[in-house]
């Protein structure tokens, strides 16, 4: 697989991993917000029901006081009117009605219509207002009924705050266990989809308040923004990873180029110096320092041109490399000069001979057959010298001796 494909795979992997984890993060963040908003809504709904309960508790407490005051008096219409006038329950209570133990009926105001008292709560329509009755047994006076306007009651208990806080609601009551649920108040657009529900028992009736956030529990605009931010971060991360990989590759290429001969791909002087410095520190294991010079290179270069000379150098480097082991080092140090470090002194003469024989084979370059050879001098470390200068002198002398012999033979 090419580096480009590997880098592409890495970048895509990073992108999708980041996308996966950022999606989890956005989901967790919004889910936490969702739970917090529902918890807040539940507290608000419970608070509203408690406010309604407190209203009825106040009604009952007032009549307990009245019962104590009038327990030893003969109840007359005048006394009943006095009772009604002395109490101010606000606009929510439309009438007070009393059925005495003697079978007498009193109403305040007097023109009020008696409401049947079979249930604790009984819906009763007058014009467009919805009324409910609340019955309370007074031990000495009889059965007391309060006729309450639901909408007025909700206004007195600041039910409008729900709308101001951005909620829609549905308020219902179950008069007695087993009775059908009756809707007392419901906002336009309310649905039974994912509401927050709070219940409370007043007397024997169960009141239930269901509320929803106007629109959605979660702000979809924020959700979209969070998702877009997460996506942008994923893209930026992938771009950064891609940039770092490209930068790393460029550094590797530059480093590789700085250590290699630009023409042949063999090591350069920098690599040679580093290898020799490393090997010269240890005398436990020796090596062979070989100095090589191509024969007839100048005449070939003059005859066929520099381009042909460059091709010959490239092919020569490949042939020399084919004869070397993994730990051997090939470096080009001049126009047609190569230095080889043989890692092992065992059978080094055989290796040198193999290189020479390989170089004698004809080179076919652009359809032209060219013959050349190598003159090689060598020095053994540490036998022939323990420093670079001594090894270079020894190998250089041997290489020039070989060149002179070839010159004498007309090779």
Span 386-401, pLDDT tens digits = 899 999 999 999 999 9
> Model-level pTM?
0.50
* Residue 1: predicted pLDDT: 56
Mean pLDDT for all residues in the chain: 81
* Residue 223: predicted pLDDT: 67
* Residue 120: predicted pLDDT: 43
Specify the higher pLDDT residue, 345 or 12.
345
When pLDDT is averaged across residues 80-96 and rounded to a whole number, the result is 73
How far is it, in rounded angstroms, from Cα 196 to Cα 209? Answer: 8
* Residue 63: predicted pLDDT: 66
- pLDDT of 178 strictly over 80: no
When pLDDT is averaged across residues 189-215 and rounded to a whole number, the result is 83
The two structure tokens encoding residue 272:
């040679």
- pLDDT of 322 strictly over 90: yes
* Residue 118: predicted pLDDT: 46
Condensed to tens digits (0 to 9), the pLDDT of residues 268-298 reads 998 999 999 988 887 678 899 999 999 999 9
* Residue 207: predicted pLDDT: 87
* Residue 340: predicted pLDDT: 96
Is the Cβ–Cβ distance between 317 and 248 less than 8 Å? no
Of 55-59, 179-183, 262-266, the one with minimum mean pLDDT is 55-59
The two structure tokens encoding residue 173:
């009551």
How far is it, in rounded angstroms, from Cα 199 to Cα 172? Answer: 10
Is the Cβ–Cβ distance between 128 and 117 less than 8 Å? no
- pLDDT of 221 strictly over 60: yes
* Residue 390: predicted pLDDT: 93
* Non-local CB neighbours of 149 within 8 Å, separated by 6+ positions: 91, 92, 93, 94, 129, 130, 131
Percent of residues, the chain, with pLDDT higher than 90:
27
When pLDDT is averaged across residues 1-25 and rounded to a whole number, the result is 77
Specify the higher pLDDT residue, 194 or 339.
339
Specify the higher pLDDT residue, 362 or 143.
362
Q: What letter does residue 260 receive in the DSSP assignment?
A: B
Is the Cβ–Cβ distance between 303 and 372 less than 8 Å? no
- pLDDT of 220 strictly over 90: no
When pLDDT is averaged across residues 234-261 and rounded to a whole number, the result is 79
- pLDDT of 256 strictly over 70: no
Percent of residues, the chain, with pLDDT higher than 70:
86
Specify the higher pLDDT residue, 88 or 15.
15
> Which domains, from first to last, does the chain contain?
3-213 (no CATH), 269-409 (3.30.70.270)
Specify the higher pLDDT residue, 117 or 175.
175
When pLDDT is averaged across residues 54-67 and rounded to a whole number, the result is 72
Name the band, by pLDDT with cuts 50, 70 and 90, for residue 58. Answer: confident
Name the band, by pLDDT with cuts 50, 70 and 90, for residue 354. Answer: very high
How far is it, in rounded angstroms, from Cα 276 to Cα 281? Answer: 9
When pLDDT is averaged across residues 296-303 and rounded to a whole number, the result is 91
Name the band, by pLDDT with cuts 50, 70 and 90, for residue 175. Answer: confident
- pLDDT of 346 strictly over 50: yes
Task: Tell me the C-alpha to C-alpha distance, in Å, between residue 143 and each of 67, 99, 121.
Answer: 11, 5, 14
The two structure tokens encoding residue 338:
């190569």
- pLDDT of 359 strictly over 80: yes
* Residue 69: predicted pLDDT: 60
């Amino acid at each position: 697989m090419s580096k480009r494909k590997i880098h592409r795979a890495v970048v895509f992997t990073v992108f999708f991993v980041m996308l996966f984890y950022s999606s989890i993060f956005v989901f967790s963040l919004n889910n936490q917000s969702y739970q917090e908003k529902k918890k807040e809504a539940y507290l608000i709904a419970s608070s509203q029901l408690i406010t309604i309960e407190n209203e009825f508790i106040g009604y009952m407490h007032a009549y307990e006081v009245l019962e104590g005051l009038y327990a030893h008096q003969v109840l007359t219409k005048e006394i009943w009117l006095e009772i009604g006038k002395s109490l101010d329950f606000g606009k929510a209570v439309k009438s007070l009605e009393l059925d005495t133990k003697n079978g007498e009926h009193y109403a305040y105001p007097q023109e009020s219509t008696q409401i049947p008292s079979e249930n604790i709560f009984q819906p009763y329509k007058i014009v467009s207002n919805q009324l409910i009755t609340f019955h309370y047994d007074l031990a000495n006076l009889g059965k007391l009924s309060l006729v309450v306007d639901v909408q007025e009651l909700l206004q007195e208990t600041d039910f409008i705050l729900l709308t101001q806080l951005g909620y829609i609601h549905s308020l219902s009551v179950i008069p007695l266990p087993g009775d059908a649920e009756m809707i007392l108040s419901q906002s336009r657009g309310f649905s039974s989809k994912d509401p927050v529900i709070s219940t409370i028992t007043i007397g024997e009736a169960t009141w239930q308040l269901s509320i929803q956030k106007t629109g959605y529990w979660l702000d979809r605009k924020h959700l979209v923004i969070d998702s877009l931010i997460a996506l942008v971060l994923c893209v930026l991360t992938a771009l950064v990873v891609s940039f770092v990989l490209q930068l790393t590759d460029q550094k590797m290429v530059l480093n590789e180029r700085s250590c290699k001969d630009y023409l042949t791909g063999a090591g350069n002087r920098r690599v040679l110096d580093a290898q020799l410095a490393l090997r010269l520190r240890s005398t436990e294991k020796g090596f062979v320092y070989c100095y090589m010079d191509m024969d007839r290179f100048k005449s070939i270069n003059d005859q066929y041109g520099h381009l042909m000379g460059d091709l010959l150098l490239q092919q020569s480097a490949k042939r020399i490399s084919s004869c070397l082991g993994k730990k051997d080092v090939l470096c080009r140090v001049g126009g047609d000069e190569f230095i080889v470090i043989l890692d092992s002194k065992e059978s080094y003469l055989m290796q040198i001979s193999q290189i020479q024989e390989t170089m004698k084979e004809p080179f076919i370059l652009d359809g032209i057959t060219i013959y050349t050879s190598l003159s090689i001098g060598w020095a053994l470390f540490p036998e022939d010298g323990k420093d670079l200068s001594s090894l270079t002198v020894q190998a250089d002398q041997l290489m020039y001796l070989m060149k002179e012999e070839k010159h004498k033979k007309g090779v």
